[in-house]
Amino acid sequence: MSWVSDYKYTWAERLTMQALRSCGHIPHHVAFVMDGNRRFARSQQLDKIEGHSRGFAKLADCLRWCLDMGVREVTTFAFSIENFKRSSEEVEGLFNLAREKFARLLEERARLDEHGIRIRVIGNIELLPLDLQKLVASAMLSTERNDKLFLNVAFAYTSRDEITQAVETVLLHASDDLRPEDITERLLEECLYTRHSPPPDLVFRTSGETRLSDFMMWQLSTSVLYFSNVLWPQITFWHFLASILSYQRDRWQLDDYRRAERLQSLRLAKRSEFYGERVQKFLTTIDEDRRKLLVRLASN
Amino acid sequence: MIEVLCLLLGRLLLLLVGGYELLWRIRERLNALVRWSYDHLWRSRAARELHERRVLTACRSQLTKTPQHLVLVISPSEAAVDAALLGRIFGFALDVGIQHVSVYDKREQGGGFVELAELGQSTGEGKGSCFKWPSKPKMSEGEPLNGQKTNGYVNGSHSPQLQIYQISTADGHALIADVCRELYEDRRTPMVQGLLSQKREALTEQINAMLTKRLGFVAPEPELGIVFARQTCTYGLLPWHVRFTEFHTHPSGRHFDVEAFANILSKYSRCEQRWGK
């Protein structure tokens, strides 16, 4: 399967992975900021697009590691809306890479179904070329019944755009049944692209940068942030294990805070009648409209 | 058999990590005690301040860029950050030319939470969360010695003051929800209808303007953040505003002094911001 590699573990890697799995908490949801492709390309005297291609190959390894480690949901930051500022040559190169990979993914549908992998592309996909929109929508629709593993690809995404989209959704889709007091951060969270995903437990950014670059800013308020100096195409299984170990070490420090946040969220939901008919009907409408959009894009 | 071996290996690994953590914490606390003792018991305040000024002057001369807005994130379990330390950090920030400092203190009242109202002078803006520091401008070095009255001016100028802001949890997700609610209540107005008919950027700009108005202060987005915690986490800090903030974690237990501050600024100065390009 091109999106999930057939990585061959050494005995030491396998043993360490089993050790971490057996006695530590494995994060349910890991988000990756795959930074450093171009710097890697420069260091190896390669073309930028080749750097991105190596980056994708590394993503395939990473997804295998996550699958075998027991991580159930992975989100990757593949293309930011800010990246449209890059040269048209590079942007088109990235789109071509995406076309190739999504087309390949559709060919491997059977294997995705076998593993129960669901693909979700989060972002403003209507900013993409029409043919890519079609591929993306097809990939999402063809795997929508899978529920064992979730791969979220942030493409044409920024957090600000996502939050704006959530506000826009409330303004456009809410009928007169929705009252102003129903609009809380709990409701807004359900209008984000990540509506059906839990917040990331661990956010892993490579290349030494210690910023979030407008990635999942709303969702990662309780996440362990892990920054590594390694460039994304050079990441190894040991770097991945180090992040898991770091998460296992740090998560208990955040447990009290997370518990308090969850309690606060539950209280808010109860107070604002989030589980009432009005709000739930509104959320069902959003799900239906989003699916209709995907069907429309897939049939273009 | 393999499972048992893996379990034992896992326990050993966690034990080693736990042991390393314990040693690290002891080392950091001892180091902090020694440095605190030297700063407060051995060295005079004047000598310490002179040293700090030298370090900051050297630091400032080497910086290729200085953040305009620094945000301090204090985790719920952080014990070492108190009003005195915050006051010193404000002093460092002022000395290197930072103009705005926000404090996002996640501790409870009575659990170490620092009220900036006790440190700074209220500006009356931002629902009482904006202050100037220091409260009374320091007399500048050119103060005349002959007791001449100056009406607060020395050689025609005031000493600079830092803008400091107290950020609360309500300024994060909840504030964005408030803005959404306000827009929803006005959804039928030409203004909102006009925004919805344009590209999404127009609505983004409107949300940005409304958030700024609700926060009550005008400051650039924080370029640099210092997280006082054992691990790096945003704790819900201003999700709209910190998208490009460089975060540096100052681990709990480690002594924070002028050298630590200068080191963070140097790292910030060296980082390259590509803005998506």
Give the nearest chain B residue to A215 (CA atoms).
B243
> Could B230 and A250 be called an inter-chain contact, meaning their C-beta atoms sit closer than 8 Å?
yes
- Please say whether the dihedral angle defined by the alpha carbons of residues A230, A236, A242 and A245, taken in this order, is positive or negative: positive
Q: Which residues of B touch A261 (CB under 8 A)?
A: 236
Q: Please determine, for residue B221, whether its predicted confidence score (pLDDT) is greater than 70.
A: yes
How many residues in total does chain B contain?
Answer: 277
A172: contact with B, CB 8 A cutoff: yes
Closest CA of chain B from A264, distance in Å: 12
* B140 pLDDT tier (thresholds 50, 70, 90): low
Of chain B, the percentage scoring pLDDT greater than 70 comes to 91
Round the average pLDDT of chain B to a whole number and report it. 88
A159: contact with B, CB 8 A cutoff: yes
> Could B196 and A166 be called an inter-chain contact, meaning their C-beta atoms sit closer than 8 Å?
no
Residue by residue, what is the 3-state secondary structure of chain A?
A: CCCCCCCCCCHHHHHHHHHHHHHCCCCCEEEEECCCHHHHHHHCCCCHHHHHHHHHHHHHHHHHHHHHHCCCEEEEEEEEHHHHHCCHHHHHHHHHHHHHHHHHHHHCHHHHHHHCEEEEEECCHHHCCHHHHHHHHHHHHHCCCCCCEEEEEEEEECHHHHHHHHHHHHHHHCCCCCCHHHCCHHHHHHCCCCCCCCCCCEEEECCCCCCCCCCCCCHHHHCEEEECCCCHHHCCHHHHHHHHHHHHHHHHHHHHHHHHHHHHHHHHHHHCCCCCHHHHHHHHHHHHHHHHHHHHHHCC
* B158 pLDDT tier (thresholds 50, 70, 90): low
E-strand spans in B42-140? Answer: 69-74, 100-105, 121-122, 130-133
A180: contact with B, CB 8 A cutoff: yes
Interval A186-240: pLDDT, tens: 999 999 999 999 999 999 999 999 999 999 999 999 999 999 999 999 999 999 9
Tell me the two tokens of residue B263. 């080191």
Q: Using N-to-C axis directions, what is the helix angle for A159-173 and B190-197, rounded to 10°?
A: 120
Q: Which residues of B touch A178 (CB under 8 A)?
A: 184
* B156 pLDDT tier (thresholds 50, 70, 90): very low
- pLDDT in the model for residue B146: 45
Q: Which residues of B touch A227 (CB under 8 A)?
A: 232
Q: Which range has the worst mean pLDDT, A26-35, A250-259, B155-164?
A: B155-164
Give the nearest chain B residue to A180 (CA atoms).
B181
* B149 pLDDT tier (thresholds 50, 70, 90): very low
Of chain A, the percentage scoring pLDDT greater than 70 comes to 99
Please list the alpha-helical segments (H only) found in B116-189.
Answer: 173-185
CB A272 within 8 A of CB A173: no
- pLDDT in the model for residue B137: 57
* B4 pLDDT tier (thresholds 50, 70, 90): confident
pTM: 0.91
Round the average pLDDT of chain A to a whole number and report it. 93
Interval B225-249: pLDDT, tens: 999 998 999 999 999 999 999 999 9
- pLDDT in the model for residue A258: 93
Q: Does A52 qualify as catalytic in the annotation?
A: yes
Buried b (16+ CB within 10 A) or exposed e, B149-185: eeeeebeeeeeebbbbbbbebebbbbbbbbbbbebbe
Q: Does A149 qualify as catalytic in the annotation?
A: yes
Q: Residue B87, SS3?
A: helix
Of chain B, the percentage scoring pLDDT greater than 90 comes to 62
Interval B186-199: pLDDT, tens: 999 999 999 999 99
Q: Please determine, for residue A1, whether its predicted confidence score (pLDDT) is greater than 60.
A: no
Closest CA of chain B from A114, distance in Å: 27
Q: Does A196 qualify as catalytic in the annotation?
A: no
What is the torsion angle, in degrees rounded to the nearest 10, for the CA atoms of residue A28, residue B73, residue A123 and residue A196?
40
CB A165 within 8 A of CB A154: no
Name the A residues in 67-86 with CB < 8 Å from any B CB: 80-86
* B217 pLDDT tier (thresholds 50, 70, 90): confident
Residue in B100, B91, B28, B114 with CA at minimum distance from that of residue B66: B100
The one catalytic residue in A20, A52, A59, A220 is A52
Higher pLDDT: B176 or B125? It is: B176
Q: How many CB atoms lie within 10 A of CB A171?
A: 19
Distances (CA, A) of B11 to A10, A20, A195, B84: 21, 9, 36, 41
Q: Which residues of A touch B202 (CB under 8 A)?
A: none
| Mutation site for B-interface testing, chosen from A22, A157, A226 by largest number of B Cβ within 10 Å | A22
Tell me the two tokens of residue B128. 């009482």
Give the nearest chain B residue to A88 (CA atoms).
B277
Closest CA of chain A from B221, distance in Å: 12
Closest CA of chain A from B49, distance in Å: 31
Measured CA angle at A222 (ends A77, A28), to 5 deg: 65
Name the A residues in 213-232 with CB < 8 Å from any B CB: 213-214, 217-218, 220-227
Say yes or no: ipTM exceeds 0.90.
yes
CB A109 within 8 A of CB A186: no
Q: Is residue A263 exposed (0-12), middle (13-18) or buried (19+ Cβ within 10 Å)? A: exposed
Question: What is the Cα–Cα distance from A208 to A205, expressed in whole angstroms?
Answer: 8
> Could A213 and B243 be called an inter-chain contact, meaning their C-beta atoms sit closer than 8 Å?
yes
Tell me the two tokens of residue B171. 């300024």
CB A21 within 8 A of CB A241: no
- pLDDT in the model for residue B152: 41
Secondary structure element (H or E) that encloses residue B3, with its range: helix B2-37
> Could A214 and B243 be called an inter-chain contact, meaning their C-beta atoms sit closer than 8 Å?
yes
Q: Which residues of A touch B237 (CB under 8 A)?
A: 221
CB B244 within 8 A of CB B223: yes
Q: Which residues of A touch B239 (CB under 8 A)?
A: 159, 163, 217-218, 221
* B38 pLDDT tier (thresholds 50, 70, 90): confident
Pairing of strands A202-205, A224-227: parallel
Interval A40-89: pLDDT, tens: 999 999 998 899 999 999 999 999 999 999 999 999 999 999 999 999 99
